[in-house]
Each structure stands twice: as C-alpha cells, then as structure tokens.
Amino acid sequence: MADASKPSGSKGAPRGARLLVVEDEAHLAEVIADNLELEGYGVEVVAEGTAALERIRAAEHDLILLDVMLPGLDGFTICDTVRAEGHRVPILFLTARGGREDRVHGLSLGGDDYLGKPFDLRELILRVAALLRRAEWWTESQQTDDSALVLGDARVDFRAYTAQVGDKGYDLSEKETMILRCLAERPGEVVSRADILDRVWGYDAFPTSRTVDNFIVRLRRLLEPDPRNPRYIHTVRGTGYRLTP
C-alpha cells in the first residue's frame, strides 16, 4: 500500500513546477494551495480576474487552476483571451459550474481539463500531475531536433502546427499535432488509445477513446492519399494505432 498522504499521481510529475491558483474563495484557495505545496509545487494565489490575466500573461507558470465565477473578469473570458494571444500554458478549470454545457464550453475555449466543485482532493492532485506531465512531454518533444514528419507527399511541421500536402498547406490543431508526434515517437510500434489519451489529454481525460478515433479519421483525410486504405496510419484492432512512415 502506498502512503495515503502521497497520492500516486505525483509520481513522475515535475516537482517544483510553478502553479497559479485563481480562486476568489479564500478558504478554497488556501486549502488547494497548501495541498499543492505539499506535493512540491510552487503556488501563487490570485483572487481577482483582471490580476489573474496579467499574471498569466507574464508567462511564469507551468499550469493555471482557474475558477470561472470571479470578480473583475470571469474565467472563461480569461482563458479565451490568453489563448487568442497565443499562450499555451495548460489550464485546469475548477468551478462550481459543473454542468455538461459549461464543461464543453470551457474545453472549447482552450481549457485542458475541467473539475467541478466539490471535488476529491486526490483527483485534483492526480489531474494536476497529469497535466504537468503532458505539458512537460510536449515541451521536451518540441525541443528535440526532429521537428518534422514526412509521410509520402505530406510533410508535418511539429513546431509550426502545419502540414504541407503536395502544394497545399493546412493548419493543424494542437491536439492533432500532439497525436502525430505521439505516433511518430514510436514508428512501426502499436500505440494504444489509452497512451494517446494520457499523452495528449492527460489523466482520466474527459474525452473518450472515440475522440482519438475521430482525430485519426481527420488526420487520415488530410495526410493519406487514400484515407479508406491507409498507408501510413494503421488501425490495430482493439488496441490502437501504428505509424509506418
């Protein structure tokens, strides 16, 4: 048995990561900050929307825990604004508005995960760790030399989030780029849907493995000469996908 006071999710999570907790309820902010500090993170707390936006813009944090209903500026607007400005820092919504519509709205604005209040302490810690792991993997893989993937006529640029197919250029979303990177890291090997979910979306991700399939369908349409008979991105039934460049 693992020590109950140390949730297993912290394993492999980058200690010393800097987190910004945006929460106007003083009690909640305190207990969240205490627990995250106990996990070895550096935690800064902001209680007001406009100040939070400024702190996120300063780009000093590895993860933002963002409440939605805030004085000054609401969390959805903050997320929308920083994403439009090109900030890619992971955002975990922590909010009393846990309805499905609000979740979908938050994620569609570029939020990375969504946790409705009240939530389980261990779940919070696991999700934070997963989001940090994911962000760390992505940052590291973006820093490696191989920044492109060539599949026949198609060339994917991982840094620019673009694909060039013949003489046509396409923009890729962050998730699409991440899925391709995830497959390209292990060419010729089977990568399970669970692995992809864990890498691209994080622990116990809100999307299901169907979501991965939908992304693959779109990527095939973009990159495969004949999407019905894929040459590069193969389905391994019941398991996942394999990339053969």
Q: Which residues bind another protein (CB under 8 A)?
A: 4-5, 24-25, 27-28, 30-32, 34-35, 38, 49, 68-74, 76-77, 96-98, 116-122
Return d(Cα 202, Cα 34) in angstroms, integer. 23
Q: Whose structure tokens read 């969240």?
A: 32
Task: State which residue, 123 or 174, has the beta carbon closest to another protein.
Answer: 123
Q: Judged by CB, which is closer to another protein: 49, or 202? A: 49
Nearer to another protein, 5 or 229 (CB): 5
For another protein, which is the closer residue by CB, 61 or 97? 97
Provide the edge-to-edge strand list for the sheet that holds 240-243. 190-192, 240-243, 233-236
Q: What amino acid occupies position 11?
A: K
Q: How far is the CB of 175 from another protein (least distance, A)?
A: 27
In whole angstroms, the minimum distance from the beta carbon of 5 to another protein comes to 5
Q: Which is nearer to another protein, 97 or 127 (CB)?
A: 97
Q: Please give the DSSP secondary-structure letter assigned to residue 229.
A: S
SS (H, E, C) 29-84: HHHHHHHHHHCCCEEEEECCHHHHHHHHHCCCCCEEEECCCCCCCCHHHHHHHHHH
Q: How far is the CB of 83 from another protein (least distance, A)?
A: 17
| Pairwise CA distance, residues 146 & 161, whole Å | 14
Residue 141 C-beta: closest distance to another protein, Å: 33
Q: 25 or 136, CB closer to another protein?
A: 25
Which residues sit opposite 168 in a β-bridge?
Answer: 165
Q: How far apart are CA 115 and CA 100, in angstroms?
A: 11
Shortest reach from residue 60's CB to another protein, in Å: 25
Q: Which two tokens stand for residue 9?
A: 């999710």
**Minimum distance, C-beta of residue 129 to another protein, in the bound complex (Å):** 15
What whole-number distance in Å separates Cα of residue 215 and Cα of residue 210?
9
